[in-house]
Amino acid sequence: MFKGSIVAIVTPFSAKGGSASGGKNLVVDERKLRELIDFQIKNGTGGIVPCGTTGESATLNFDEHEKVIEITIDQVKKRVPVIAGTGSNSTEEAIMLTKKAAGAGADASLQVSPYYNRPTQKGLYEHFKAIAQSVKIPIILYNIAGRTGVNIEPETIAKLAQDCKNIVAVKEASGSLDQMSRIKQLCPENFDLISGDDGLTLPVLSIGGTGIISVVANIVPRDVADLVLAFEKGDLKKARELHYKLLPLIKAVFLETNPIPVKTAMGLLGVCEPDLRLPMCEMSEGNLEKLKKALKDYGLL
């Protein structure tokens, strides 16, 4: 079972001179990544997702992608599961990345639905089935139509869960509790439903979800972990208190496209450099002020 607060960890960069276009030449900051991993585990995080959307996987080259996953596995040292983001809109590429992650010792793979090419439901089924058959590690589907342009329907998820024994969970970021309820109805009882939206963690837990793959946990890991733990212990009052405490901060870290605000917040808090690779860019001044206010109101700044 994949449960609790699982962080979609940022990829910290450091600047090395200038690029040909006059901007920063950003390289993966291994030392800082190791620090962030330890910070997460010390604060109750139950799993690490490297190379997800929040980790800017789309702008990592293959060598960097493998390096980030390998560093994460090495630093975690089996203290919590490492769920490597290895999805792609190319099935062959996704299989390659997933095999490498499995070989490096990843505990599972997070597979985003193919983006841009917008396959049919049959195409989605065949894509995920081919990946699942290529490795033995567990596969977690990642459904986020707002970024990929295609929704994995509950019936497709249920068929994959039935036909591929190592497809064991879905990170659901559709925003639809109705759809998530359908997934719980149709899939095997031991198939994990994981929230992909920080603001829906508590509602998803209430319909049978097991946890959250979180963005906001990059800055407040203890509170996100405690929310899930409180729910698991039946302390609904505490879970609700944390839910409402977190909501304004969650709203702030999604003022602009993820991971722009959360990485900016980490820079403001001195946790890591806020550098992003293009086409991700710095926040607008108006949204930056809103983010700063949310951090101050939370007691972080």
Residue type, 134: S
* Confidence grade of residue 20 (pLDDT, cut at 50, 70, 90): very low
Query: Looking at the predicted structure, is the pLDDT value of residue 203 above 80?
Result: yes
Residue type, 154: P
Mean pLDDT of the chain: 96
pLDDT at 17: 59
- 28-39 pLDDT per residue, tens: 999 999 999 999
Exactly one of 171, 238, 293, 298 is catalytic; name it. 171
* Confidence grade of residue 262 (pLDDT, cut at 50, 70, 90): very high
Query: Looking at the predicted structure, is the pLDDT value of residue 219 above 80?
Result: yes
- 125-181 pLDDT per residue, tens: 999 999 999 999 999 999 999 999 999 999 999 999 999 999 999 999 999 999 999
* Confidence grade of residue 23 (pLDDT, cut at 50, 70, 90): low
pLDDT at 18: 54
Q: Which residue has the tokens 């276009």?
A: 21
Q: Would you call 142 a catalytic residue per the annotation?
A: yes
Exactly one of 3, 67, 100, 142 is catalytic; name it. 142
Residue type, 86: T
DSSP β-ladder status, 24-28 and 167-172: unpaired
Q: Would you call 292 a catalytic residue per the annotation?
A: no
Measured torsion, CA atoms of residues 240, 197, 1, 202, in degrees rounded to the nearest 10 = 10
Helices assigned H by DSSP within the chain: 30-42, 62-76, 91-104, 121-134, 145-148, 154-163, 177-186, 201-206, 221-232, 236-252, 260-268, 285-298
How far apart are the C-alpha atoms of 48 and 275, rounded to whole Å?
21
Query: Looking at the predicted structure, is the pLDDT value of residue 21 above 50?
Result: no
**Joined tokens for residue 164:** 């591929």
- 77-123 pLDDT per residue, tens: 999 999 999 999 999 999 999 999 999 999 999 999 999 999 999 99
Domain boundaries, the chain: 4-233
What Å distances lie between residue 81 and 41, 105, 230, 297, CA to CA? 11, 10, 21, 33
Residue 270 burial (10 A CB sphere; 0-12, 13-18, 19+): exposed
Query: Residues of the chain with pLDDT > 70: what percent?
Result: 98
Q: What is the pTM of this model?
A: 0.95
> What length does the chain have?
301
Smallest Cα–Cα separation from 227: which of 80, 44, 41, 36?
A: 44
Q: How confident is the model over 218-227, as a mean pLDDT?
A: 98
Q: How confident is the model over 250-269, as a mean pLDDT?
A: 98
Q: Is 116 left (phi over 0), alpha (psi -120 to 50) or beta?
A: left
pLDDT at 1: 80
What Å distances lie between residue 22 and 17, 63, 87, 280, 281, CA to CA? 9, 24, 31, 16, 15
Homologous superfamily assigned to 4-233: Aldolase class I (3.20.20.70)
Query: Looking at the predicted structure, is the pLDDT value of residue 274 above 50?
Result: yes
